[in-house]
C-alpha cells in the first residue's frame, strides 16, 4: 500500500508534481480537464475540498443555477482527469518519486509515494523474462481461443430449442435475419495489440491504440511515418474480452436454431465485402467496433466522449460514464452501459450490434436480445426494427450484471454506406 510523504516535505513534493503534470501538456490548454486541475490545485493550497457545484461555478464558469443532477460535466471531467493522470504516471512520469491522484468519488488531489515503475522493472529484467511473458501471453490467448471454440461447438450441437428461444426467433428483430437466404457472420470485437521496442529492437511493452485495430492500420501508420517502423513491432497479437464467451452463450442458440449457415470471425479480420452481402451480428465492446463504428454511429443519437467509457446524447447533451473499468471491492456496486442496435445495410442486409462499454454491459446486452420480455420492452418504444438503437444503464457487482434500466429507444437515421 502506498504511503504519503512526511508532512514537512509534502508541500514541496506536491508542488513539484503539479509542475511536472503542467509541463507535460497531458491536460491540454484551456480544456475542462486543465481548468479542473488548476481549480483543485488552488483548493488544496487553501486546505479545502470543493463540492461539485463549486467546481462547475468557480472552475468552469457556470451559473449558480447549474443543476448537478441533470448535467454530469463535472463528474465526466473528473473521470477523464483521473484517467489522464494515471496515463501520465504509467508513461512519461513513470520514474517520478511521487504521483498525484484523484480518488474516486472525491474532488481533491492527493500525493502518494510511487511504487516501482512498471517500465523500470521490465527494463531491468533479463531478456528471457520478456520471452517467458510473451510465451505465457500466447498460451493464455490459445486457452481463451480453445474455450470459445469449445463453447461454440457445444452450442452448435445442442438439438433442443426451448420455448424462450422460439419466441425470440419469431420477434420482429430476429425473424428477418433468420428467415431469409442470406448467411450470418458472427463478429467478435477484439483488440489488436502491437509491441513497442527499445533501441536494440527488444519489445518492452504491449500497446493498445484505439486508432490501430488491424495489421493494415499499423501498416498505414508506418507508411504515414516510416520512423515508427523502428519503434513499433507487429506481434500478431490480440485479445478478446472474457464476456464474449458469455455473450455467445446467449446468442448462439437463437442463431443456430434457424439452420442457416453461420460463420465466426474477429472484428480486426472483417472483410468490407462481407458487410455488403451478409447479415453481421457484432458481439463485443463499443470500443472495438472497428470498421463497423461509422455505420453504427453515423445515424445514431449517441457519440463517444473523451474515451469509450463515455456516451453523450447528441440531442440533450447529457453524458453517461461507465466506471466498470475502475477497481472495485467484491461487494461494491458500479455502473456500466449496454447498447444494442439494428442497422440497415445495402439491399436486404441488416447488421445487429450487441455491445457494452465493458464486460458487464456486454453481458447484459446479450441477455436482453435473447429475452422475450426485454424485446417486448424495446417494442413499446415503437422502433423501426431495421434502424433503431437502445441504451441500458447496468449495475454490476463483482463482474456480474445484477440489474439494468432501459435509458431509451430511438429510431436512427440512415446509416452510412458500407466501406
pLDDT at 149: 55
97 lies in the same domain as 111: yes
Residue 419 has pLDDT above 50, yes or no: no
Q: Is residue 271 part of a domain?
A: yes
Q: Is residue 201 part of a domain?
A: yes
Segment 255-313, tens digit of pLDDT = 987 788 889 988 888 888 888 889 999 999 998 888 888 888 888 999 887 677 889 88
Q: Is residue 142 part of a domain?
A: no
Q: Is residue 374 part of a domain?
A: yes
How many independent structural domains does the chain possess?
A: 3
Q: Is residue 146 part of a domain?
A: no
262 lies in the same domain as 332: yes
227 lies in the same domain as 245: no
Between 153 and 62, whose confidence is greater? 62
Q: Is residue 143 part of a domain?
A: no
Segment 29-73, tens digit of pLDDT = 767 788 889 999 999 888 889 988 899 888 888 888 887 766 777
170 lies in the same domain as 224: no
pLDDT at 391: 96
pLDDT at 286: 92
Between 378 and 92, whose confidence is greater? 378
Per-residue confidence band for 137, with pLDDT thresholds at 50, 70 and 90: very low
Segment 385-416, tens digit of pLDDT = 889 999 999 999 998 999 999 999 998 875 44
Note down the domain range covering 224: 191-239
pLDDT at 204: 82
Residue 154 has pLDDT above 60, yes or no: no
Segment 332-362, tens digit of pLDDT = 899 999 999 999 887 788 999 999 999 999 9
Q: What cell does 382 get?
A: 415503437
Residue 381 CB neighbours (<10 A): 13
Q: Is residue 79 part of a domain?
A: yes
307 lies in the same domain as 388: yes
15 lies in the same domain as 113: yes
Q: Is residue 362 part of a domain?
A: yes
CA distances from 259 to 169, 256, 263, 305 (A): 12, 6, 12, 40
pLDDT at 69: 66
253 lies in the same domain as 195: no
169 lies in the same domain as 234: no
203 lies in the same domain as 265: no
Segment 237-256, tens digit of pLDDT = 878 888 998 999 999 999 98
- From 205, 239, 273, give the residue that closes a domain: 239
229 lies in the same domain as 278: no
306 lies in the same domain as 215: no
pTM: 0.63
- From 104, 121, 138, give the residue that closes a domain: 121
pLDDT at 148: 57
222 lies in the same domain as 290: no
Amino acid at each position: 500500500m502506498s504511503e504519503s510523504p512526511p508532512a514537512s516535505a509534502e508541500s514541496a513534493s506536491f508542488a513539484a508534481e503539479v509542475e511536472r503534470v503542467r509541463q507535460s501538456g497531458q491536460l491540454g490548454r484551456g480544456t475542462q480537464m486543465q481548468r479542473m486541475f488548476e481549480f483543485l490545485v488552488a483548493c488544496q493550497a487553501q486546505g479545502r475540498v470543493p463540492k461539485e457545484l463549486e467546481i462547475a461555478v468557480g472552475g468552469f464558469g457556470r451559473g449558480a443555477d447549474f443543476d448537478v443532477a441533470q448535467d454530469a460535466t463535472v463528474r465526466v471531467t473528473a473521470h477523464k482527469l483521473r484517467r489522464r493522470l494515471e496515463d501520465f504516471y504509467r508513461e512519461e512520469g513513470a520514474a517520478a518519486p511521487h504521483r498525484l491522484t484523484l480518488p474516486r468519488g472525491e474532488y481533491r488531489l492527493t500525493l502518494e509515494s510511487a511504487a516501482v515503475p512498471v517500465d523500470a522493472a521490465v527494463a531491468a529484467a533479463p531478456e528471457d523474462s520478456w520471452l517467458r511473458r510473451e510465451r505465457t501471453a500466447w498460451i493464455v490467448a490459445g486457452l481463451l481461443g480453445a474455450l470459445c471454440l469449445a463453447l461454440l461447438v457445444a452450442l452448435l450441437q445442442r438439438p433442443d430449442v426451448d420455448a424462450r428461444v422460439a419466441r425470440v426467433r419469431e420477434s420482429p428483430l430476429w425473424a428477418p435475419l433468420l428467415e431469409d437466404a442470406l448467411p450470418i457472420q458472427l463478429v467478435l470485437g477484439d483488440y489488436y495489440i502491437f509491441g513497442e521496442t527499445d533501441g536494440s529492437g527488444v519489445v518492452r511493452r504491449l500497446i493498445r491504440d484505439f486508432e490501430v485495430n488491424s495489421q493494415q492500420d499499423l501498416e498505414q501508420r508506418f507508411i504515414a511515418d516510416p520512423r515508427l517502423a523502428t519503434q513499433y513491432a507487429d506481434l500478431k497479437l490480440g485479445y478478446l474480452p472474457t464476456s464474449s464467451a458469455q455473450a455467445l452463450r446467449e446468442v448462439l442458440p437463437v442463431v443456430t436454431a434457424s439452420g442457416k449457415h453461420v460463420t465466426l470471425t474477429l472484428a480486426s479480420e472483417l472483410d468490407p465485402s462481407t458487410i455488403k452481402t451478409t447479415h453481421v451480428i457484432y458481439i463485443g465492446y463499443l470500443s472495438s467496433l472497428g470498421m463497423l463504428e461509422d455505420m453504427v454511429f453515423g445515424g445514431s443519437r449517441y457519440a463517444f466522449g473523451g474515451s469509450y467509457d463515455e456516451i453523450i446524447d447528441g440531442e440533450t447533451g447529457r453524458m453517461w460514464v461507465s466506471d466498470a473499468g475502475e477497481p472495485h471491492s467484491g461487494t461494491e456496486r458500479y455502473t456500466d452501459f449496454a447498447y444494442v442496435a439494428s442497422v440497415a445495410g445495402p439491399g436486404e442486409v441488416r447488421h445487429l450490434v450487441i455491445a457494452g462499454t465493458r464486460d458487464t454491459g456486454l453481458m447484459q446486452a446479450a441477455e436482453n436480445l435473447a429475452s422475450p420480455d426485454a424485446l417486448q420492452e424495446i417494442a413499446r418504444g415503437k422502433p423501426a426494427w431495421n434502424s433503431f438503437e437502445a441504451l441500458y444503464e447496468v449495475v454490476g457487482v463483482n463482474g456480474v450484471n445484477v440489474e439494468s434500466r432501459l435509458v431509451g429507444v430511438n429510431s436512427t437515421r440512415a446509416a452510412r454506406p458500407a466501406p
